[in-house]
Chains A and B, each alone.
Chain A
Amino acid sequence: MSQTPIDPHSPWQQMVARFQKDKIGMLAAGFAGFVLIVAVVVGICSCFGLYFPHDPNQTDLERKLLPPNWVNWLGTDNLGRDVLSRILQGAWISLSVGFIAVSVSLLIGVFVGAVSGWVGGWLDNLLMRIVDAIMCFPSFFLILTVVALVGPNIWNIVVVIGLVSWTGTARLVRAEFLTLREMEFVRAARSIGQRGWVIAFRHVLPNAAAPIFVTAVLGVPDAILAEAGLSYLGFGVQPPQATWGNIITDGKVYILDAWWLILFPGVAIFLTALSFYLLGDALRRAADTRAERK
């Protein structure tokens, strides 16, 4: 029998250490963090009526459809609004959509998955068949149908995206619970007489935190892209509130005359989504302890 050296660091510390060695992951984390900070700063400032560099809703028909210049760094749109200001405003709205939608889907997914994996039996069977049935629906079309019927405003969109996209999380949490509930610390907790649901949510759930966190990070760009797609079809967050999706939608008529209306918000969506995906993937690699052993 070989003696394995015991690592004095906690699993969480080990994960952080592994993550820090991942250059792409660090780069993605840097960019995602930058976008996040910009979005939050813009969001807080706009509450106090402070805008940078211009008011995103200020129209000026004498300065419409200008290409990028010294006053309007990324040009102006068909109503003379500053594109950079609108993209910054859009960062706040789009990221809010991403984060809130993910919170809704995590709340449902973690709860359903935990109950399913912990209780098992017919309840598990029933819940998982419901998950299977929902997964048969093309999610974007389902979201579009419901949003169109309830009316497109930011809260409806966020809740509907969340309500449709929890199934993956539920399956993952269930799988984690199925493995974890056979572990010795669960038997230990039972033997000292702790109640079932206390063990499930106080002891087992924290052990499944890493994979849940990874799916949350990967869910943010999914929601941002879904909102952008809805915007394109006219059922996203409604103007004058700017999102990256509806800046493109408003600008699509001018695509041959004003490329800056399409290019910049598209690049903003692409880079943000890419950085979140790469970050999530790097976190998954860092959380995967099996990779180290091989």
Chain B
Amino acid sequence: MTAFILRRLSIAVLLLFAISLISFFIVTLTPGSPYPWGELNPKISEDVKRAFREKFHLDEPLHKQYFLIMQDLFSGKLRSIKDERSVLDKIAERLPATLALNAVSLLLSLSFGLLLGIYAARYYGRLPDIATSVLAFAFIALPGFWVSYLVAIGFSHLAGAPVLGLSSFGVVFPSTLSRLLDFFWHIAVPAWVLAIGGIAAQSRFLRATMVEALREDYIRTARAKGLSEQIILFKHALRNSLRPLITGIGLLLPAMVSGSVIVESIFAYPGIGRLGYEAVLERDYPTLVALNFIVAVLVLLGNLVSDILYAIVDPRVRLE
């Protein structure tokens, strides 16, 4: 087990290096002016441009730029163009909100995806199976921003659900509990919208592994013993189908962050997705490098944890 974890860790370190290279180069190697205000803006003096180039080491050769930027990033010296604040602080401030949103929506995708997947596998090849798989593809085919609009308007009209921000404005909460409830009430609509794609993906995933599991010999044995269909489904087939689900979570993470960019900007939700969109609008190049890097590292960590969890529940993986 230790050998397995060590091997995984060494691969992760390699990937970390590759990720830092990619997040640096996508921003520096893209053609176009490095200045947020445009190359030919007559209002910007030569001195300002020089100061800017110096600050982001733009006059250095490329490989030095990379090391200097990464050094600045890790020491917290990398500052946003917009407000001169350390990008690490800005991201740290916004990260918890996004993590909370994604955690809730991951929970929703897993639980409802699980139910739909079991249901489809139970009636494999018959009408309920076909209907749920069409439904799953319909969920994936819905354009996120379009649904967000319709849902935001629908819910705020019909249920009076809040569709802006994190907490009710100008309300003094008597207790932590009521503040927490208010928070979940605010998170509900965006989390559901974000979960739509995840529910679909997880249900397809689980259906495939369940169908596979239901064909195994031990299921035939269980049927022959006269066990009830319920027990066969939940105790025998489901248990053996849960392992690939762990990998599924790893695959779901980047998609969720992608979804956050749109969902957070529609629901005025102060998370890193919105921060990213603001940085894109302002061509805030240090923030973009840092954000791409940190999000990818979070995904990498998620994958690492899911790999190790997988190895714990399935010893065969350790040998590889």
Q: A232 touching B299 by the CB < 8 A rule?
A: no
Taking a contact as CB atoms closer than 8 A, the residue among A24, A137, A229, A294 that contacts B292 in the complex is A137
Q: B141 touching A145 by the CB < 8 A rule?
A: no
Q: A274 touching B141 by the CB < 8 A rule?
A: yes
Question: In whole angstroms, what is the CA distance A135 to B133 when docked?
Answer: 26
Tell me if B255 is interfacial: C-beta within 8 Å of chain A: yes
Set of chain A residues within 8 Å of B297, measured between Cβ atoms = 136
Tell me if B300 is interfacial: C-beta within 8 Å of chain A: yes
Tell me if B92 is interfacial: C-beta within 8 Å of chain A: no
Interface of B is mostly: helix
Closest B residue to A233 using CB positions: B277
Report the minimal beta-carbon distance from B124 to chain A, rounded to whole angstroms: 11
Q: B138 touching A144 by the CB < 8 A rule?
A: no
Report the minimal beta-carbon distance from B304 to chain A, rounded to whole angstroms: 10
Q: A133 touching B22 by the CB < 8 A rule?
A: yes
Spot the interface stretch: B81-89, B107-115, B144-152, B183-191.
B144-152
Set of chain A residues within 8 Å of B14, measured between Cβ atoms = 129
Tell me if A138 is interfacial: C-beta within 8 Å of chain B: yes
Q: B261 touching A144 by the CB < 8 A rule?
A: yes
Q: B254 touching A273 by the CB < 8 A rule?
A: no
Set of chain A residues within 8 Å of B277, measured between Cβ atoms = 144, 233
Tell me if A189 is interfacial: C-beta within 8 Å of chain B: no
Q: A252 touching B295 by the CB < 8 A rule?
A: no
Q: A277 touching B143 by the CB < 8 A rule?
A: no
Report the minimal beta-carbon distance from A101 to chain B, rounded to whole angstroms: 16
Q: B262 touching A137 by the CB < 8 A rule?
A: no
Q: A262 touching B149 by the CB < 8 A rule?
A: yes
Query: Quick one: which of B30, B146, B280, B300 has the most chain A CB within 10 A?
Result: B146
Question: In whole angstroms, what is the CA distance A266 to B146 when docked?
Answer: 7
Report the minimal beta-carbon distance from A228 to chain B, rounded to whole angstroms: 5
Q: A133 touching B15 by the CB < 8 A rule?
A: yes
Tell me if A139 is interfacial: C-beta within 8 Å of chain B: yes
Set of chain A residues within 8 Å of B146, measured between Cβ atoms = 228, 248, 262, 266, 269-270
Tell me if B240 is interfacial: C-beta within 8 Å of chain A: no
Tell me if B101 is interfacial: C-beta within 8 Å of chain A: no
Q: B292 touching A256 by the CB < 8 A rule?
A: no
Set of chain A residues within 8 Å of B219, measured between Cβ atoms = none
Taking a contact as CB atoms closer than 8 A, the residue among A24, A132, A142, A256 that contacts B26 in the complex is A142
Chain B 238-280 near chain A by CB (<8 Å), digits 1 or 0: 0000000000000000111111011001000000010011001
Report the minimal beta-carbon distance from A146 to chain B, rounded to whole angstroms: 6
Report the minimal beta-carbon distance from B156 to chain A, rounded to whole angstroms: 11
Q: B299 touching A136 by the CB < 8 A rule?
A: yes
Q: A146-B30, A266-B146, A281-B137 are in contact. Are A136 and B296 (CB under 8 A)?
A: yes
Tell me if A130 is interfacial: C-beta within 8 Å of chain B: yes
Chain B 21-36 near chain A by CB (<8 Å), digits 1 or 0: 0110011001110000
Tell me if A225 is interfacial: C-beta within 8 Å of chain B: yes
Q: B261 touching A24 by the CB < 8 A rule?
A: no
Question: In whole angstroms, what is the CA distance A225 to B254 when docked?
Answer: 16
Question: In whole angstroms, what is the CA distance A269 to B142 when docked?
Answer: 8
Tell me if A223 is interfacial: C-beta within 8 Å of chain B: no
Q: How many residues of B contact A (CB 8 A)?
A: 52
Interface residues on A, range: 35 or more
Q: A144-B276, A270-B141 are in contact. Are A233 and B15 (CB under 8 A)?
A: no
Q: A136 touching B254 by the CB < 8 A rule?
A: yes
Taking a contact as CB atoms closer than 8 A, the residue among A134, A221, A229 that contacts B22 in the complex is A134
Tell me if A17 is interfacial: C-beta within 8 Å of chain B: no
Q: B141 touching A221 by the CB < 8 A rule?
A: yes
Tell me if B100 is interfacial: C-beta within 8 Å of chain A: no
Report the minimal beta-carbon distance from B210 to chain A, rounded to whole angstroms: 14
Q: A232-B262, A281-B137 are in contact. Are A136 and B145 (CB under 8 A)?
A: no
Q: A294 touching B215 by the CB < 8 A rule?
A: yes
Q: A145 touching B299 by the CB < 8 A rule?
A: no
Q: B145 touching A141 by the CB < 8 A rule?
A: no
The 3 closest A-B pairs by CB, nearest first: A140-B258, A133-B18, A273-B141
Write 29 A-B pairs (CB below 8 A) sorted by A numbering: A130-B18, A135-B254, A136-B303, A137-B292, A137-B295, A137-B296, A137-B299, A138-B257, A139-B254, A139-B255, A140-B259, A140-B261, A141-B261, A141-B276, A141-B295, A142-B26, A142-B292, A144-B276, A148-B283, A149-B288, A228-B146, A235-B280, A262-B149, A270-B141, A271-B141, A273-B141, A274-B141, A277-B137, A277-B140
Binding site for A on B (CB under 8 A): 11, 14-15, 18-19, 22-23, 26-27, 30-32, 130, 133-134, 137-138, 140-146, 149-150, 153, 215, 254-259, 261-262, 265, 273, 276-277, 280-281, 283, 288, 291-292, 295-297, 299-300, 303
Binding site for B on A (CB under 8 A): 24, 129-130, 132-142, 144-146, 148-151, 221, 225, 228-229, 232-235, 245, 248, 252, 255-256, 262, 266, 269-271, 273-274, 277-278, 281, 294
Beyond A139-B258, A140-B259, A270-B146, 11 additional pairs, beta carbon < 8 A: A130-B18, A132-B18, A137-B254, A138-B255, A145-B276, A146-B26, A228-B145, A248-B146, A252-B149, A255-B149, A273-B143
